Amino acid sequence: MGSLPRYATAVAFVQALLLGGCGQPAPDPAPSPTPGATASVQRPAGKERLVLAFGDSLYAGYGLDRGQSLPDAVQARLRRAGVNADVVNAGVSGDTSAAGRQRLGFVLDNLKRKPDLVMLGLGGNDVLRQIAPAETRANMTAMLDELKRRGIPVLLTGMKAPPNLGPDYVAAFDTIWPDLAKRYGGGLYPFILDGVIGDPELMQGDRVHPNVRGVARIADKVAPLVAGQLRETG
């Protein structure tokens, strides 16, 4: 999702999500340490793991201070759990799935080594622009094909469409992530804003991007999935 002081589309998106009840909020996780101080988390011993967080503004940390993005928060939780992980933030605000498809290979080629896992989070800007779900699916499929070719496991963080786009659009869009997770055997967090969107205590003033508390809530749920996949890959 992008730089959105263009409130009309973004607010309509959020309001539609709330009215449509896109998924039941997950139970509140156990409280985490105060977010935002990720640099102070000591690196644990053990094998170093490399995670690439590849997505849009929900990864990039739009509207947040340095060190407060979702990849930062996930890295801090992994290290507190004893996982010696570096999470590289390759989030770009405004990216659609098509833009991500264009730059994925370049980003992978310029990492210090092949990542142990890629967190893939795109689609929010596609739905805001009402891009055809078939196009989004094709772009996501192409990225997963590239990651499979390179032998890199994936954790998908999904997106949902607002019901005001109609049942056909919603059905076609919302099934992209579970279908692809099943097809490629990847991990899945079905809706990245689950339990956060609609709560003013957890969202920025634009009502589209989570604030630092919202990021902490998401990271509390996503980090264990990342840790689980890293364990599976040895």
Catalytic positions, please? Answer: 57, 206, 209
Is residue 83 within 8 Å of residue 53, measured between CB atoms? no
Contacts 24+ apart (CB under 8 A), 9-13: 9/128, 10/128, 10/206, 10/207, 10/208, 11/206, 11/207, 11/208, 12/162, 12/164, 13/127, 13/128, 13/162, 13/208
| Strand ranges across the sheet with 117-121 | 85-91, 49-55, 117-121, 154-157, 187-189
Total Cβ atoms within 10 A of residue 132: 12
Torsion of CA 108, 112, 118, 123, to 10 degrees: -50
Q: What is the DSSP string of 62-74?
A: TTS-TT-SHHHHH
Instruction: Give me the amino acid identity at 83.
Output: V
